[in-house]
């Protein structure tokens, strides 16, 4: 059983192989780490470049935003005055075209009287005539 077993390796022959393998592995790992480092540096530089471009674009938009806010305030003021005027016009419209108040509105606007209404005419009572002063009584 022990006869089939290969003899144990000698320490001198095995040692140089391990060091060569280890050096190759270290070089490979070093190359992999360098590639990862270059990739990370490239990503970081691209992200910084994009950030600078985005900040520059935002800085160009700040004056435009100020102009837009002033325009919005002007439009809000115009809208408020238009809404007030619209309210007044709606009140006038409902007053002039209200079917329940049509007769009163017509009378107010045209000085016409409702045909079903009776006209009352006030007469002043006749005052008795005073005798006119004569010229003989005032000349004495």
Q: Where are the domains of the chain?
A: 15-113
Compute how many other C-beta atoms are within 10 angstroms of the C-beta atom of residue 96: 12
Per residue of the chain (140 residues), give pLDDT as tens. Answer: 556 777 666 655 545 556 666 766 767 777 778 889 999 999 999 999 999 999 999 999 999 999 999 999 999 999 999 999 999 999 988 888 877 777 777 777 777 766 777 777 888 887 776 766 665 555 44
Q: Phi, psi at residue 130, to the nearest 5°? A: -85, 145
Overall pTM > 0.85: no
Buried b (16+ CB within 10 A) or exposed e, 50-87: eeeeeeeeeeeeeeeeeeeeeeeeeeeeeeeeeeeeee
């Amino acid at each position: 059983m022990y006869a089939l077993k290969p003899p144990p390796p000698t320490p001198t022959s095995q040692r140089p192989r391990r060091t060569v393998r280890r050096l190759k592995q270290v070089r490979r790992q070093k190359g992999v780490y360098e590639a990862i480092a270059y990739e990370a540096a490239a990503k970081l530089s691209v992200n910084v470049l994009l950030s600078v471009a985005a900040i520059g674009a935002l800085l160009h938009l700040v004056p435009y935003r100020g102009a837009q806010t002033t325009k919005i305030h002007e439009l809000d003021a115009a809208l408020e005055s238009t809404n007030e005027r619209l309210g007044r016009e709606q009140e006038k419209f409902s007053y002039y075209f209200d079917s329940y108040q049509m007769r009163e509105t017509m009378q107010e606007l045209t000085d016409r009287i409702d045909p079903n209404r009776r006209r009352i005419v006030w007469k002043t009572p006749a005052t008795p005539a005073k005798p006119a002063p004569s010229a003989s009584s005032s000349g004495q």
